[in-house]
Amino acid sequence: MTVNEIKEILDAEIICGKDCADKEVHTACGADMMSDVLAFVKNQSVLLTGLCNPQVIRTSEMMDIICIVFVRGKKPDQGMIALAEERGIVLMTTSHRMFSACGMLYENGLRGGTKC
């Protein structure tokens, strides 16, 4: 699944990283606790989260996460956007709630990756 397909499925708005819309995403992770995200290494992941602070970008950077989707219409501030742009991470926001957003991606074939 590409970043652009995620955007379409979730009816999301890309906040930054539009030029990476063709990037392939292999797995997804939905979490508000960043240590849970850090516990499972996956390649080329998208992170769905309701948390909206700079550590979401930092965590994604450490994990080589390609794209972050903020659920329930949350929008990152300028500092977070600048950090994401610097690291080449796509940020998008969707009005869907966490459970629905995860379900929509799953329904379209995206999976959570292998068990740890």
Instruction: Supply the minimum distance, in Å, between the C-beta of residue 38 and another protein.
Output: 5
Amino acid at 84: A
Task: Look at the chain and count its residues.
Answer: 116
Report residue 60 CA to chain centroid gap.
8
- What whole-number distance in Å separates Cα of residue 29 and Cα of residue 80? 20
Interacting span for another protein (CB under 8 A) from 10-18, 28-36, 66-74, 96-104: 28-36
Question: Does the footprint of another protein cover residue 32 (CB under 8 A)?
Answer: yes
Q: Which of these segments, 20-28, 56-64, 90-98, 101-109, binds another protein (CB under 8 A)?
A: 56-64
* 34 lies in the site for another protein, by CB under 8 A: yes
Q: Which two tokens stand for residue 14?
A: 């890309």
Interface with another protein (CB under 8 A), residue from 8, 11, 24, 62:
62
Classify each residue of 26-61 as buried b or exposed e, where b means 16 or more C-beta atoms within 10 Å of its C-beta.
Answer: ebbbbbeebeebeebebeebbbbbebbeeebbebbe
Nearer to another protein, 34 or 46 (CB): 34
CB of 19 to another protein, least distance (A): 21
- Give contact residues for another protein (rule: CB under 8 A): 32-36, 38-39, 41, 51, 53-56, 58-59, 61-64, 79
